[in-house]
């Protein structure tokens, strides 16, 4: 029978990318981690890791063993938590990842309330615009805002919100240009573009009517805060998720253009490895965010 603690040392070494980093994460000497992994390999009669002074690489059998070992630890943790599920307050660390705009616009206002609701819960949020491998990097929850359906990745998906993308512009810009009464007029207006491939806007209007239009590209930026600022400065018309421009609309800094038309939708979704969603700490976090973001 394998020692569960040896699995913990092995999984930590792989997750952290080396013995030194794992020792810091576990708070034990590096020699302890290395020794326990070596004992694990001896008990299995198999090499799990190729290691030298410059490299740390899993063998083929090591990669397979890591997936099962990590799953075993999750199941052990879930079994322990199940004993206290009905009465215990959610506790422990929940690792989350989100892109910069998702963290700023959808999570920032709610995470402090989550921390107050569950004082024993420790939320670790990694904000990054890179494509994160949720399983391999050991995250419990990924929160992603997307314009197209997410591919089937084997992760559990929980939809949080769907909101329209609307056209807005500053009062100053609109006072200096022809009034926009129909989508066709957008072709002569300055447009603030969200990317080099977004030169044409696909609009949906009353009764499902659609219209494609290419405004005059005044500025192209792949960051929503900069686009919002450019619109407020009067540079042109921009399509933005409604939530992102709501404060500026309420303050009168922006005005909605063609209120009966939208430029698509943005969906915010949580993704979780199936086993992680069984943990009370993860489950409490998920339900809290569903309640908050599902009722904007």
Q: Which residues pair with 122 in a beta bridge?
A: 93
The pLDDT, as a whole number, for residue 141 is 94
> 10-residue block means of pLDDT along the chain (296 residues)?
82 87 87 88 88 81 89 83 65 92 91 93 92 88 89 87 94 94 96 80 93 94 90 96 93 97 94 80 91 74
The pLDDT, as a whole number, for residue 88 is 62
Do the two domains 92-151+268-293 and 163-266 of this chain adopt the same fold?
A: yes
pTM greater than the 0.75 cutoff: no
| C-alpha count within 13 angstroms, C-beta hemisphere, residue 252 | 1
CATH tag, 163-266: 3.40.190.290
The CA distance from 254 to 256, in Å, is 7
The CA distance from 49 to 15, in Å, is 13
The pLDDT, as a whole number, for residue 167 is 97
The pLDDT, as a whole number, for residue 197 is 59
The length of the chain in residues reads 296
What ranges do the domains of the chain cover?
A: 4-83, 92-151+268-293, 163-266
Query: Helix (H) and strand (E) counts for the chain?
Result: 10, 13
* Among the listed residues 132, 161, 168, 150, the one whose alpha carbon sits nearest the alpha carbon of residue 256: 168
The pLDDT, as a whole number, for residue 166 is 96
Exposure string for 117-127, b = 16+ CB within 10 A, e = fewer: ebeebebebee
The pLDDT, as a whole number, for residue 165 is 94
The pLDDT, as a whole number, for residue 111 is 95
CATH tag, 92-151+268-293: 3.40.190.10
The pLDDT, as a whole number, for residue 86 is 52
CA distances from 88 to 113, 235, 288 (A): 19, 54, 17
CA distances from 185 to 135, 181, 269 (A): 48, 7, 35
Q: Which CATH number fits domain 4-83: 1.10.3720.10, 1.10.1060.10, 1.10.10.10, 1.10.645.10?
A: 1.10.10.10
The pLDDT, as a whole number, for residue 105 is 87
Q: Checking DSSP bridges between strand 216-220 and strand 190-193, what pairing results, if any?
A: parallel
CB-based burial label for 35 (10 Å; 0-12, 13-18, 19+): middle
The pLDDT, as a whole number, for residue 294 is 75
């Amino acid at each position: 029978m394998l020692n569960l603690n040896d699995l913990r040392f092995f999984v930590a070494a792989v997750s952290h990318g080396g013995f030194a980093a794992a020792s810091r994460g576990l708070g034990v000497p590096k020699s302890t981690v290395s020794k326990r992994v070596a004992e694990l390999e001896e008990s299995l009669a198999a090499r799990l890791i190729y290691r030298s002074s410059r490299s740390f690489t899993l063998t083929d059998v090591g990669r397979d063993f890591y997936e099962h070992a990590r799953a075993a630890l999750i199941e052990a943790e879930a079994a322990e938590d199940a004993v206290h599920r009905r009465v215990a307050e959610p506790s422990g660390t929940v690792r989350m990842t989100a892109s910069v705009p998702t963290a700023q616009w959808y999570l920032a206002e709610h995470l402090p309330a989550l921390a107050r609701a569950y004082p024993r819960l420790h939320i670790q949020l990694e904000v990054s615009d890179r494509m994160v491998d949720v399983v391999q990097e050991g995250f419990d929850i990924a929160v992603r805002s997307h314009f197209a359906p997410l591919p089937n990745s084997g992760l559990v998906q929980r939809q949080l919100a769907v909101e329209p993308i609307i056209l807005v512009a500053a009062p100053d810009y609109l006072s200096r240009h022809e009034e926009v009464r129909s989508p066709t007029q957008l072709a002569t207006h300055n447009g603030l573009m969200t990317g080099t491939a977004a030169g044409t806007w696909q609009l949906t209007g009353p009764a499902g009517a659609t219209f494609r239009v290419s405004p005059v590209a005044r500025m192209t930026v792949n960051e929503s805060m900069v686009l919002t600022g450019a619109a407020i400065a009067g540079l042109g018309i921009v399509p933005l998720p409604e939530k992102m421009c709501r404060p500026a609309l309420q303050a009168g800094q922006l005005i909605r253009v063609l209120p009966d038309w939208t430029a698509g939708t943005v969906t915010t979704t949580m993704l979780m490895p199936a086993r992680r969603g069984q943990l009370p700490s993860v489950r409490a976090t998920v339900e809290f965010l569903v309640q908050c973001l599902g009722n904007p």
